[in-house]
Amino acid sequence: MLYANQFYYKIYGYTPQSAKEKGFLNAKFILPESDYLYIKREVFQHIRNGHREFQLEYRAEHSSGKLMWLLVRCFYDPEQPDRMTCALVDIADRKEMEEKLRISSEESRIAYQLTDKLMYIYDAEKKQLHQPKAAADEFGLPPVVDDAPYSIVKSGAIDGPCKKEYIEFYEAILRGEPNGHAAVKKRRKNGSFGWYEAKFSSIYDENGNVKKAVISCEDITEQREKELSYQKWSQYFKSQEGKTIGFYEYNLTKDLFDEEAGDLPPDYLRPLKKYTQTVQYIADHFVYEGDAERFSDFFDRDSLLVRYYKGQTRGSMNYLRKRPDGSLFWVRAIILLLADPYSDNVRLFMMTLDIDKEKREELKLRSQTEHDGMTGLLNRETFVAKVTRILGEEGSANKHALIMLDIDRFKTHNDVHGHPFGDQVIRETAHFIKGFLRESDLCGRMGGDEFMVLLRNIGSEDDVIPRINMLCHLLRRKYTDKGEVSCSMGVVFYPRDGKTFRELYQNADTALYEVKNTERGNYGIYKPER
């Protein structure tokens, strides 16, 4: 090596001084022995073929001994035949993304089989509903239902007044809406009816068209029906035996625990006869500290009595609870307030359910629905929502730059070199953008080859122009046998060029349009009409 900057050494886990001390003067030092000769042959083959610029992906050895993936871009000048200039890019994230894409189908299949949550997959292209066998058997339907939702309505599985809402739920998916929910009354195979609340989150293809929707369905029969009978509710809670952490009854009016109803309390709760004492003990010993205040507010005796007299007789809350070993798990507390059938006292039914598996799956799905599956960037809906919230919360006190960019001649690259290459270009573009951003900045894939970047809290336009210019050059790269790929960008500034996302988006689109009609692979700053 003739010269290397400090960032070069940093990639391999060295400083220039420590590298010199270790004898790090030759590429052999950081390449696995099994790879060195292969890489050397590749480099000289490019030179023999007259390539002045080329790039290679290779494995390198970190000072810790760990192998890592790097991309080297090589620049060779025949007038200086004894040397070559190289630039390195860490592509570990890209390699990890490729591996995740490879296993995502199998992972989803296994996760779907293991979850206890009532989950459905709706194929929007084929109008097919894929449901678990248990759910299909419950409603007398096949596991895969064609022409959904219309065939399901025709089967009589949906109560008459709810048919319109049920159809609208699925047509919202077909229209491309990102999410939605509905509550409908359904007829079970045994002839009984139940209320079910369903929520969907749409999954889009690279062109922004809805591909599938993940639907979660929850039985809310007991929440919807006005079952005010003390005995009926008691029987319902007891029927959940084996699924609950605990089921208890309290006399809120007298602040007493009912020892003759519900589960037998554990030893540590038996000395506590008052409801208020029990709530305080549980909050102090079993509820995660971050949820303790919310837990105490939810179960506050006076607040519950006020709610009851206002007609608010039901409620639930999810919170984190501690296991004996200190680990945390999700639980759901469900309460019902009823008048005692034999007095004017207010009674509280409380049931605690272990929902850890369900909740963690829900959080995982929520993350998946907020991010673009191919690139890991925010999807269009999430990016728009986050930027809109930032503009609304911060007002015009802070300045931001919004950049719209797309890949030049992407359709040509896609058509000539194939969709796999097109997908590779999109993923690598996203990777370079993510590496360019600060932690507070945002980036989203708006669909196809269009991306947007929000550079937050900039000092001035002059401060940010060098960064934009740097991004423009970073996104210009060459592929062996496929030519150069570049990106064009339209830039607007908040609040100068607009105070809403819609205004900024339209003006950025105008700036991008002018760049693509004049000089591709460059950026243009929006110029408001005088």
pLDDT tens-digit readout, 16-73: 899 888 888 887 888 888 888 889 999 999 999 999 999 999 888 888 988 888 999 9
Within a domain: 153: yes
Last residue of a domain, one of 339, 361, 383: 361
Last residue of a domain, one of 190, 223, 256: 223
Do 112 and 179 fall into the same domain?
yes
Do 122 and 156 fall into the same domain?
yes
Do 506 and 416 fall into the same domain?
yes
DSSP state of 371: B
Q: Is 11 within 8 Å of 70 (Cβ atoms)?
A: yes
Question: Sheet holding 442-447: strands in order across?
Answer: 442-447, 450-455, 400-407, 487-494, 523-525
Do 338 and 420 fall into the same domain?
no
Last residue of a domain, one of 313, 334, 361: 361
Q: Is 472 within 8 Å of 491 (Cβ atoms)?
A: no
Within a domain: 308: yes
Do 355 and 385 fall into the same domain?
no
User: What was the pLDDT predicted at 79?
Assistant: 92
CA–CA gap between residue 21 and residue 31 (Å, rounded): 18
User: What was the pLDDT predicted at 433?
Assistant: 92
The tens digit of pLDDT for each residue in 292-335 reads 999 999 999 999 999 999 988 889 999 999 888 889 998 888 88
456 C-beta neighbours (distance < 10 Å), count: 18
The rounded percent of the chain whose pLDDT value lies above 70 is 88
Cis omega before residue 341 (within 30°)? no
Do 248 and 383 fall into the same domain?
no
Do 518 and 379 fall into the same domain?
yes
Q: For residue 117, give the nearest of 382, 353, 379 by alpha carbon.
A: 353
Do 516 and 376 fall into the same domain?
yes
The tens digit of pLDDT for each residue in 416-447 reads 999 999 999 999 999 999 989 988 899 999 98
User: Does 361 have pLDDT greater than 60?
Assistant: yes
Q: Is 135 within 8 Å of 145 (Cβ atoms)?
A: no
| Beta strand 523-525 pairing with 487-494 | parallel
Q: What is the domain-level CATH number for residue 13?
A: 3.30.450.20
The tens digit of pLDDT for each residue in 464-475 reads 899 999 999 999
Q: Write out the residue range of the structural domain in which residue 127 sits.
A: 108-223
Within a domain: 530: no
Within a domain: 481: yes
In total, how many domains does the chain have? Answer: 4
Contacts of 45 (CB under 8 A, 6+ apart): none
| Bridge partners of residue 287, in order along the sequence | 321
User: Does 110 have pLDDT greater than 50?
Assistant: no
- Reduce the secondary structure of 27-90 to three states and give it as a string: HHHHCCHHHHHHHHHHHHHHHHCCCCEEEEEEEEECCCCCEEEEEEEEECCCCCCCCCEEEEEE
Do 86 and 161 fall into the same domain?
no
211 C-beta neighbours (distance < 10 Å), count: 14
**Strand, helix or coil for residue 14:** coil
CA distances from 450 to 345, 377, 388, 407 (A): 63, 12, 19, 7
Q: What is the domain-level CATH number for residue 394?
A: 3.30.70.270
Do 339 and 270 fall into the same domain?
yes
Do 392 and 492 fall into the same domain?
yes
User: What does the block give as tokens for 376?
Assistant: 């890991």
Within a domain: 22: yes
Q: Is 185 within 8 Å of 195 (Cβ atoms)?
A: yes
pLDDT confidence bin for 230, thresholds 50/70/90: low
CA distances from 333 to 336, 366, 387 (A): 10, 22, 35
Do 128 and 250 fall into the same domain?
no
Average pLDDT, the chain: 85
Within a domain: 100: no
Within a domain: 228: no
CA–CA gap between residue 269 and residue 307 (Å, rounded): 26
Exposed e or buried b per residue across 457-471, where buried means at least 16 C-beta atoms within 10 angstroms of its C-beta: ebeeeeebeebbeeb
34 C-beta neighbours (distance < 10 Å), count: 8
Within a domain: 495: yes
Contacts of 127 (CB under 8 A, 6+ apart): 146, 147, 148, 174
